[in-house]
Every structure is written in structure tokens, then in C-alpha cells.
Amino acid sequence: MSVENPYDKACCFDKFYHLYLSKFLRRAFKNNNIPNNEYYRVPEVDKVENLYAEFERCYNKYKGKRNSVRKALWLFGRTKLIVASICILTEASIMTATAFLLGGLLSALTDIDENPSDDATLRLWGCFVGILVCTFVYPLMHPVTFFTMYQLSYKLRIVLTVLIYRKVLHLKNYMLCQTNSGEVLNIISTDLGKVDFLGLFIVFFLVFPIYFVGKVIASYFVIGWPGVLGCSLYLVMIPIQLAFTSLFSKFRTNGAKYGDARVKLMREVIEGIRVIIMYVWEII
């Protein structure tokens, strides 16, 4: 019997910074052996049946249409993607503002050394306070961003695992003869493991155009055309990244073929061992 999870009643601030776990962590620090019946239950929003019901509602809107599963997955994780994108853009804005404020701070110090004035002192203190605010806000935004992205990752993985499970249940008999549990477990453990990285990096892929345009504009007004040329290196890296991605995809496809062959071979070995045991041939 597990204990009710405080996540269900926690506020957004407690969820983002995991403050609802403070009581449990204090008990774990004092007592290493916590009984199993005192562990928290899975939160209601993270239960498999609730997540799949939410995905099924999204899927019913595109049922019968082309790429219905892909569209349903997008609709299922759209809110998390938007929140994570806003958080990442906020972090990028904070880092950019910190760089500008640091440049203003150095400029104000130079003006004070050459020609002291109240205006230079005011700019100095303004930049100093701005850097302190950015330094304080950025660590507060970072946990929110990664909490949202990790939450999106495991929700997508749970939904895709349920889809595979339901697909296996509806396979016909002749297909079941060609499929074994090892192949299914290999897909769930290995292939779906890449979904954990999908939730982390797809947000950067969506945010990159806005981030790049903002960087180019800021570099042009501060540095000029040399700054724009420096930002163009991002564009040079895109085809290189695509080439490496295509290469890794080929390696991964070949590795999956060898993995399936290994699973089939192990299945034949285990079936052969079962036949030997059944006929008691190992005694001979």
C-alpha cells in the first residue's frame, strides 16, 4: 500500500523545483531503509491509463486521416512544447541581456575613468543591478525548462509503449509466429529510448529560427557586419549536422538488423534447449 503522492496537490512552484519531495528526502536522509508501503503512488496525471486516454482523444480528431498518429502525438505534446520553447527563449534572452549589460558595465567603467560624471555612474549601477537580476532569474528558469522537456519525453515514451503493446495484442496468428517477445522488448528498450532525447532536443530545433534571427539582429546593431558573418557559421553547421545525422541513421538501421538477427538466433537456441530438456537428452 503506497502513500498518496503530494504532487497531485502541489502548486506549480513546488512541481517545477521538486519541493513536494522535501519531506520524503528528509526521511530518506535520516533513515536509509524506507518501507515499500511508504513510497508515493504515481501521480494521477502520469498514470498510464490517463495518458493514453488523453492521447486517444487527440487521435480521434485525426482518425482516418493521413499521418494520424504523428498528428495526434503533436497535439498530445503541443502544450509542453510551447511552454518549453517559451522557457528556452526566455533563457536565451536572459543570456543575451547579460552580455549586453556586461558590455555596458565595461563601457561605463571606461567613461568613469576618463571623464567621471553622474550619468556614467548611473549607467554603471543600472548595468550592475541588471546583471544581478539576470544571474538570479536564469537559475530559476533552467529547472522549469528541463522539467517540462523531461515530462514531455517520458509521456511520449509511455504512450508509444502502450501503442506497441496494443498493436501486439491485435496481431494475427501468422504474424505472431514471425514475432517473438525479444524483438518487442528490443524495440521498447532500445528504439523507444531515443524518445528521451527527442523531448530534450526537438524544442531546440523549433526555437532555433527565432533564436538565430534574434542573434543576427543583435550582432548587427552591436558589432556590425562582422557579427553577422560570425552568426553565419550557424548556417554552415546545419548541412554538416544533417550529414552526420544521416550517417548515424544508416549505422543505427544496420545495427537494428543485426540486433533482430541476434534476437532470432537466441530464440532458436532457447527453443533448442527446451527440446533437449523435454526429451531428457542432456543426460545422454
Question: At which residue does the C-alpha cell 502548486 appear?
Answer: 11
Predicted pLDDT of residue 179? 66
Predicted pLDDT of residue 18? 73
- Single pTM value for the model: 0.72
For 208-239, what is each residue's pLDDT tens digit?
Answer: 888 788 778 877 877 777 777 877 777 888 88
What value does the mean pLDDT take over residues 91-118? Answer: 83
Of the candidates 259, 274, 269, the one whose C-alpha atom is nearest the C-alpha of residue 183 is 259
Cell of 198: 527527442
Most confident of 24-28, 145-149, 260-264: 145-149
**Domain locations in the chain?**
6-46, 48-222
Question: Residue 40: pLDDT above 70?
Answer: yes
AA letter at 154: Y
For 1-34, what is each residue's pLDDT tens digit?
Answer: 567 777 777 777 777 777 777 777 777 777 767 7
Label residue 182 by pLDDT band (50, 70, 90).
low
**First CA to last CA distance, the chain:** 50
| Mean of pLDDT over the chain | 79
Q: Does residue 34 come out as left (phi exceeding 0), alpha (psi in the -120 to 50 range) or beta?
A: beta
Label residue 174 by pLDDT band (50, 70, 90).
low
Predicted pLDDT of residue 58? 87
